[in-house]
Amino acid sequence: MQKEIMLCAIDNILSGSCREDCKFCTQSIHHGADIERYRLKSTEEIVKDAKIARANKAVGFCMVTAGKALEDKHVEFLCKTAKAVKKAVPEFNLIACNGTATKEQLKALQASGVDSYNHNLETSENYYPQICTTHGWSERYKTCENVKSTGLNLCSGGIFGMGESEQDREELIAAIQTLQPKSVPLNFFMKNPALPLEVEPITPAQALKIVRYARAQLPGQKLMAAGGRESTFGTDQKPLFEAGIDAIVIGDYLTAKGESCDKDIAMIQSYGYGIAKRCR
């Protein structure tokens, strides 16, 4: 049976206004990165983006807002927008990614058509204070628990190549394992001149070792290659899929440009894989 790769699109619907000091993030106001900053997109814009993503064969669509937490003032807007997106593209696995969230907020999103909630642990609990001082790792884990308790599908992963040790990587995967998420985004740190992290880029060999380890420890989860896929692997990405990746982010990332969707689809098909027609 031909392996099928799931495609997921990200829509950055509120950009560049985060007060947290995460050293890996260009959306933090502490770093002054040269990015596009804007308030909430309109529901109409987001629905348009969703239709474009579906035309590019995405089966997952993630609405992302910058900031530490899901603010109550945004919940009503997100619920209204979720309903509009699901009406326009009912077959989507609709994902929200809006920071730490309470059970009540998550239940409201779920009632409006959101299928999954994305909240990454980012790195090990031990290493987290080295990359963020304005909130703790335990808050992130608690939100993931809240997601699970509501019945929403949990999407939770991390970023590799931020100066963490091998043990930190294993501890992150172990923590993800305890949550048993539906899908696990594996990101590889992308350098930016504004960011304070001074680390050597992760090598393809190191990245593949991480993917293989994650696949072995998380056999029932969907592994997604997300940020840093192109900068780490260039045009030779077949080893990623052979190592266990079964989903990718297509198009642009939050503040970084991605490859064209057509090129990614052609690349996947050239490796002998199909494109998933629905989220499994």
Question: Cα(first)–Cα(last) distance of the chain, in Å?
Answer: 15
Return the structure tokens found at 180: 């048993």
Return the structure tokens found at 48: 């348009």
Can you say whether the dihedral through the CA atoms of 120, 122, 127, 130 is positive or negative? negative
User: Which pLDDT belongs to residue 279?
Assistant: 80
Sequence-ordered strand ranges (E) for the chain = 4-14, 60-65, 93-97, 116-118, 153-155, 158-160, 183-188, 222-225, 247-250, 274-275
Phi and psi (nearest 5°) for 245? Answer: -70, 130
From first to last of its 280 residues, what are the pLDDT tens digits of the chain? 789 999 999 999 998 888 989 999 988 888 888 888 889 999 999 999 999 999 999 999 999 999 999 999 899 999 999 999 999 999 999 999 999 999 999 999 999 999 999 999 999 999 999 999 999 999 999 999 999 999 999 999 999 999 999 999 999 999 999 999 999 999 999 998 899 998 999 999 999 999 999 999 999 999 999 999 999 999 899 999 999 999 999 998 877 778 899 999 999 999 999 999 988 7
User: Which pLDDT belongs to residue 57?
Assistant: 97
Our measurement of the distance from residue 94's CA atom to the centroid of its chain's CA atoms, rounded to an integer in Å, reads 13
User: Which pLDDT belongs to residue 180?
Assistant: 97
Q: Which amino acid belongs to residue 120?
A: N
User: Which pLDDT belongs to residue 30?
Assistant: 84
Return the structure tokens found at 14: 């509120």
User: Which pLDDT belongs to residue 34?
Assistant: 83
Pick from 254, 239, 249, 167: nearest CA to 203: 239
Phi and psi (nearest 5°) for 27? Answer: -85, -5
Domains and CATH numbers, the chain: 4-275 (3.20.20.70)
- For the chain, helix (H) and strand (E) counts, in that order, are 9, 10
DSSP string, 87-133: HHSTTSEEEEE-SB--HHHHHHHHHTT--EEE---BS-TTTGGGT-S
User: Which pLDDT belongs to residue 278?
Assistant: 86
Pick from 220, 224, 213: nearest CA to 188: 224
User: Which pLDDT belongs to residue 253?
Assistant: 83
Assign residue 55 a region (left: φ > 0; alpha: ψ between -120 and 50; beta: otherwise): alpha
User: Please, is 262 exposed, middle or buried when counting C-beta atoms within 10 Å of its C-beta (0-12, 13-18, 19+)?
Assistant: exposed
Q: Which amino acid belongs to residue 195?
A: L
